[in-house]
């Protein structure tokens, strides 16, 4: 699946998106998997209360299942308008 | 209905004229324009967004407003990219037979757009703008 990062998550991880092959069942599992990869992921996902998630471009939460999903995005709380 | 996410500026007068064109049934046309406020340190900012999801999120907000109020038309234009102090960021237009629906719908759209549309502001020299608790609280009154 495609994993996207925005705002300071993009800056901390150092890339806007990447293709991730994973068996993770939920978003929370995917976060754990990414955190174990490299310190920059661990740093970006250190405080999950500051991170929002969208699955296939719909806002959701960490419990969201990933079966059949093509796009997951992580970003800080939104500041539009 | 129209939702536009664009880097280019917009012309409020032209958009309002466009909404009124060829019809005489509108009694109230409300327009809200959000601007980049001047900041003490540095006067430029960059607005990042999530192409694809942004349009979907705005269309969803637009549809919810139409479901709640008897709107005759509705338009949301949101810019992204580098924006200087004083620049226009967002335009919301709502049209209805009487003013109450148009006023309320415009406020509803802005309240949701603030914290439910995937935009992030970064101020030059200051970093990413934190989400405001007040913006989250503002959503509660529409429940």
B42 or B30, which is more confident = B30
- Which domain range does residue B117 map to? 2-140
Find the residue in A nearest to B77 (Cα). Answer: A81
pLDDT band at B125 (very low <50, low <70, confident <90, very high): confident
**pLDDT in the model for residue B86:** 93
Predicted ipTM beyond 0.90: yes
Domains in chain A: boundaries: 2-75
Q: Which of residues 31-70 of A touch B (CB under 8 A)?
A: 54, 57-59
Are A81 and B119 a contacting pair at CB < 8 A? yes
Specify the CATH number for the domain of residue B18.
3.90.1170.40
Dist. CA B33–CA A20, nearest whole Å: 40
pLDDT band at B16 (very low <50, low <70, confident <90, very high): very high
Read off the pLDDT of each residue in B87-102 and give the average, rounded to a whole number.
98
B40 pLDDT higher than 80: no
Are B118 and A54 a contacting pair at CB < 8 A? yes
pLDDT band at B1 (very low <50, low <70, confident <90, very high): low
Report the residue from B50, B56, B131 with minimal CB separation from A79: B131
Count of CB contacts below 8 A, A vs B? 68
What CATH architecture applies to the domain A2-75?
Answer: Roll (3.10)
3-state secondary structure chain B: CEEEEECCCCCHHHHHHHHHCCCCCCCEEEEEEEECCCCCCCCEEEEEECCCHHHHHHHHHHHHHHHHCCCCEEEEEEECEEEECCCEEEEEEEEECCHHHHHHHHHHHHHHHHHHCCEEEEECCCEECCCCHHHHHHHHCCC
B32 pLDDT higher than 70: yes
**pLDDT in the model for residue B126:** 84
Are B118 and A79 a contacting pair at CB < 8 A? no
Distance (Å) from the alpha carbon of B37 to chain A's nearest alpha carbon: 12
What share of chain B has pLDDT > 90, as a percent? 82
B66 pLDDT higher than 90: yes
Report the residue from B56, B114, B130 with minimal CB separation from A81: B114
Are B52 and A57 a contacting pair at CB < 8 A? yes
Q: Average pLDDT for consecutive 10-residue bins of chain A (81 residues)?
A: 98 97 97 96 96 97 96 96 89
B120 touches chain A (CB under 8 A): yes
pLDDT band at B38 (very low <50, low <70, confident <90, very high): confident
Report the residue from A58, A75, A79 with minimal CB separation from B121: A79
**pLDDT in the model for residue B136:** 87
Domain count, chain B: 1
């Amino acid at each position: 699946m495609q994993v996207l990062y925005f705002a300071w998550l993009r800056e901390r991880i150092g890339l806007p998106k990447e293709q991730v092959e994973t068996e993770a069942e939920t978003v929370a599992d995917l976060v754990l998997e990414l955190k174990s990869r490299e310190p920059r992921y661990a740093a970006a996902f250190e405080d999950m209360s500051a991170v929002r998630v969208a699955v296939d471009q719909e806002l959701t939460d960490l419990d969201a299942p990933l079966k059949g999903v093509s796009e997951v995005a992580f970003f800080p709380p939104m500041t539009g308008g | 209905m129209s939702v536009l996410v664009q880097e280019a500026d917009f012309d409020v007068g032209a958009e309002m004229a466009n909404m009124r064109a060829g019809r005489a049934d509108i009694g109230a046309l409300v327009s809200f324009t959000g601007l980049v406020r001047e900041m003490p340190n540095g006067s430029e900012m960059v607005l990042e967004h999530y192409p694809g999801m942004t349009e979907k999120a705005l269309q969803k907000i637009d549809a919810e407003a139409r479901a709640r109020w008897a709107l005759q038309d509705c338009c949301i234009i949101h810019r992204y990219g580098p924006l200087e102090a004083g620049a226009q960021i967002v335009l919301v237009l709502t049209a209805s037979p009487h003013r109450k629906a148009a006023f309320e719908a415009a406020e509803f759209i802005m309240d949701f757009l603030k914290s439910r549309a995937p935009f992030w502001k970064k101020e030059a020299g200051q970093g990413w703008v934190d989400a405001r608790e007040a913006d989250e609280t503002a959503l509660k009154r529409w429940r």
